[in-house]
Amino acid sequence: MNEREARAILFSAIEGGHSFWSAEIFESSALTVYNKLINGGYDCIKYGALIEEIKSASFDQISTSIQVHGAHLLVPGDSNWPSKVDDLANPPIALIAKGNCEVLSTDSLAIVGTRNPTNYGARIAGDFAAGFVDRQWSVVSGGAYGIDSFAHKGALIAEGVTIAIIACGIDINYPAGNTRLFTEICESGALLTEVMPGCRALPHRFLTRNRLIAAISQATLVVEAAFRSGSLRTARDAAQLLRPVMAIPGPINSPTSEGCHRLIGERAAEIVTSVADAVEFIGINQ
């Protein structure tokens, strides 16, 4: 058993974003945590199910289940590991990537927002994505309907690179309507996930996924978001990492812009109205 194998086994058994296990692994090593679990170093009652799961896990089976889908297991120390995620309080144990893994460490902008955008929001997401890929940046988003999709498509139309960080297994096209989009993303960019193949997109996985979107990107742009949107969580995750956060203003009576106005009003995001504004703001904060 080596560090890579231990990480793979723990990754397969522990839900992504788990603060306790992330801290334990970060403070020592995956191999140390694995050995402590196997040898009774943790409460065998409290963690009994986890202990049984890792005892029955096989590194070869885990690797095969990933490779059969044309994907790769990434762990810290790998050449394509996106090291910016290590800045998180609860960094991922490992990641699974499909496509061009080299893009995971490029300069990138996260573009996030509502699943039900207005025509205005859809156009803005695409325009900003195109503007940044023209400057050789990648565009990062979550692969969902709405602003996410328009950001990915804007980058692709401009012949740029985009990365979709998904909340399900690499073998699951969620949402199903974006199957073709995911295929196109992988041609030059990448799909990235923190869960094993076969894992479904559950509500809590979207929240833990959002921190990866914030962490892998140099800056985050919120295009349209409702007052209690998950996109605001991504913005706050980015702010905690001291990464620039920007928001697009909208009509004062538009529900889809309430979240953006909230961020701007709380001075949690810089108001931007053009790609040039965003480029200047990010330059000031780097």
Please write the tens of the pLDDT for every residue from 240-254. 999 999 999 999 999
| pLDDT score of 228 | 86
Selection from 33, 213, 239, 186 nearest residue 111 by Cα: 213
Region 149-172: mean pLDDT is: 98
Q: So what's the architecture of 102-285 in CATH? A: 3-Layer(aba) Sandwich (3.40)
Q: Is the pLDDT of residue 30 over 90?
A: yes
Q: Is the pLDDT of residue 177 over 60?
A: yes
φ, ψ at 210 (rounded to 5°): -60, -35
| pLDDT score of 83 | 96
Q: Is the pLDDT of residue 265 over 60?
A: yes
In the chain, CATH 3.40.50.450 sits at 102-285
Q: 0.85 cut: is pTM over it?
A: yes
Burial class (CB in 10 A: 0-12, 13-18, 19+), 8: buried
Angstrom distance (rounded) from CA 76 to CA 152: 27
Region 114-121: mean pLDDT is: 97
Residue that the structure tokens 């109205």 belong to: 273
How many other C-beta atoms are found inside a 10 Å radius of the C-beta of residue 123?
A: 14
Q: Give the whole-number percent of the chain exceeding pLDDT 70.
A: 99
Angstrom distance (rounded) from CA 18 to CA 60: 24
Angstrom distance (rounded) from CA 10 to CA 93: 8
| pLDDT score of 286 | 47
Mean pLDDT (the chain, rounded): 96
